[in-house]
Amino acid sequence: MPPAVVLVTGVSRWLGGALAAELARDPAIGRVIGVDTVPPSAELLRRLGRTEFVRADIRNPLIGKVISTAGVDTVVHMNISSTPAGSGGRGPMKELNVIGTMQLLAACQRAPSVRRLVLKSTSAVYGASPRDPAVFTEAMQARRVPAGGFAKDSLDIEGYARSFARRRPDVGVAVLRFTNFIGPRIDSVLTGFLRMPVVPTALGYDARVQLLHEDDALGVLTRATTGEFAGTVNVGGEGTLLLSQVIRRLGRLQLPVPSPALGSLGRLTRRFGFVDYSPEQMRFLNFGRVVDTTVLRTEFGYTPRYSTEAALDDYARTVPPVVPKDLVGEVTTQAEALVARAGALTSSVGGAVHGRLRPAPASPGLRAVRDA
C-alpha cells in the first residue's frame, strides 16, 4: 500500500528535492511534505509540484509537531551533511547530523502514525584502509573504524536508527548505504573534486572507485519509500574503475604527490574554497572502497540502470576536458617525472597551483550544499 503522508528532510538539496518531486507526481500518495532549514531555489521550488515546504530545523523538538499534526506515516531522512563548509564548520555539522537525527527519531518514536523510516546512509561507514576486503557486504564492519567526520557521524546515525527499530518494532526501517553519487545534475563531494583541472592524487596509490548515477539513487529512494523492504542494503553501480582511469576519462590532469603532502594540499584547497575534501575522504582516494550489491538486486528488487562506467560517461558530458583525452597520459607522465625530480611537494607549490586547482563551475541550478 502506498504511503499516505510522506515527510522528506533535506528537501532543498538536489536529491531530496528530486525525491519529493517524484513522490508528488504519484497520485496514490496523499501528501508530500518537504523540510529543510533553507528554502529551495526558485527552479527547485517549481519542480516540487504539490510538495508542501516547511522551513524547520530537525534539531528543534518542534519537528515532532510537524509529524504529529500532519499524521506522517513515512519519514525519509536525507538532511545529513557530508562537509563542514556546507554546515558552517565541523561543530555545526556534527550537531545537524547527530543531534538532528536524534531529535527526528525521538519525534518519530512518539508519533503513532509513523509506520516507515528510510535513512539515506553511506558506504563510508565501512571506512577505507589497506586492510579492507576486496568487497564489503552488509554484514561486514570497518576494518579501521572512522575516527571522525562524516563517516563517524553516519555510524552514529545508523546506531540510533537500529535503536529506534528496537523501540518501535512496528516501524519498517530501511538503511540505504550509497556509494559516491555522480551525474550531470547532482553536486556531490566527488564531482567537485573531479571538476578540478589538476586532480591531486597520492603517489603510489590507485584506488578502486564505485559510482552510482543520480537517476539510480533517485530510483532506489523512491522504491524504498513506497515499498516494504526493511534492513540494510548497499547501493552502487555495477563494476569499478581505477581513480587514474576516472581522471583520464574526464580529460583532467593527474598530479601524483607524496602522501604527507596530500594532507597539506587538501587543507590548501579547503582554505581557498576550491574543494571541501576532508582527511577521511582523502583516505578513500588512497585505498578506495567497493561494496557488494547482491542484496540490492535480489532482496530489495532494484537493478541499477547505469554501471560505474556508464555513470561516469554521462557525467563527463558536462565536464569540458582540460586537455585532449589522448594526451592526458603523456601529460600525467611528465607531471610524475617532475614530482619525482622535486622529491617532495614544498609549500611554495601552494602559490604556484593556486589558480590551477579551482574546479570548473558546477552545472547551473546546483546548490552550495552538496549531497554526500
What stretch of H or E contains 7?
strand 5-9
Assess whether pLDDT exceeds 60 at residue 303: yes
CA 21 to chain centre: 19
Assess whether pLDDT exceeds 90 at residue 95: no
CA 182 to chain centre: 9
pLDDT at 335: 53
pLDDT at 96: 86
- Bridging pattern class, strands 74-77 and 116-122: parallel
pLDDT at 349: 44
- Confidence band for 44, pLDDT divided at 50, 70 and 90: very high
- Confidence band for 192, pLDDT divided at 50, 70 and 90: confident
Beta-carbon contacts of 324 under 8 Å, excluding residues fewer than 6 positions away, are 251
What stretch of H or E contains 33?
strand 31-36
**Roughly how many angstroms between the first and final C-alpha of the chain, as a whole number?**
30
DSSP string, 168-224: -TTSEEEEEEE-EEE-SS--BHHHHHHTSSEEEEETT---EE-EEEHHHHHHHHHHH
- Confidence band for 364, pLDDT divided at 50, 70 and 90: very low
Tens of pLDDT, residues 198-256: 888 888 999 999 999 999 999 999 999 999 999 999 999 999 999 999 999 999 999 88
Output the pTM of the full model: 0.86
Tens of pLDDT, residues 71-89: 999 999 999 887 766 656 6
Buried/exposed code over 283-308 (b: 16+ C-beta within 10 A; e: otherwise) = bbbbbbbbbbbebbeeebebebebbb
Mean pLDDT, rounded, of the chain: 86
What stretch of H or E contains 90?
helix 90-94
Assess whether pLDDT exceeds 90 at residue 54: yes
Task: Report the percentage of the chain scoring pLDDT > 90.
Answer: 62
More reliable by pLDDT, 184 or 278: 184
pLDDT at 273: 54
CA 71 to chain centre: 29
pLDDT at 2: 87
Q: How many CB atoms lie within 10 A of CB 159?
A: 11
pLDDT at 193: 86
- The set of cell numbers assigned to 284 is 578513500
Q: What is the mean pLDDT of residues 38-53?
A: 93
* Sheet of strand 116-122, all strands in order from the earlier edge strand to the far edge: 52-55, 31-36, 5-9, 74-77, 116-122, 172-178, 231-235
| Residue 283 to residue 286: CA distance in whole angstroms | 5
pLDDT at 292: 98
pLDDT at 321: 87
Q: Which of 52-61, 272-281, 329-338 has the lowest mean pLDDT?
A: 329-338
Assess whether pLDDT exceeds 50 at residue 91: yes
- The set of cell numbers assigned to 32 is 508530500
pLDDT at 343: 47
Q: What is the mean pLDDT of residues 141-157?
A: 88
Q: What is the mean pLDDT of residues 272-294?
A: 80
pLDDT at 223: 98
Q: What is the mean pLDDT of residues 117-123?
A: 97
Assess whether pLDDT exceeds 60 at residue 60: yes
Q: Which of 181-195, 288-302, 347-361 has the lowest mean pLDDT?
A: 347-361
| Residue 82 to residue 96: CA distance in whole angstroms | 11
| Residue 209 to residue 350: CA distance in whole angstroms | 27
Phi, psi of 317 (to 5 degrees): -65, -25
- Confidence band for 147, pLDDT divided at 50, 70 and 90: confident
Tens of pLDDT, residues 312-357: 999 999 998 886 655 555 555 555 555 455 444 444 444 444 444 4
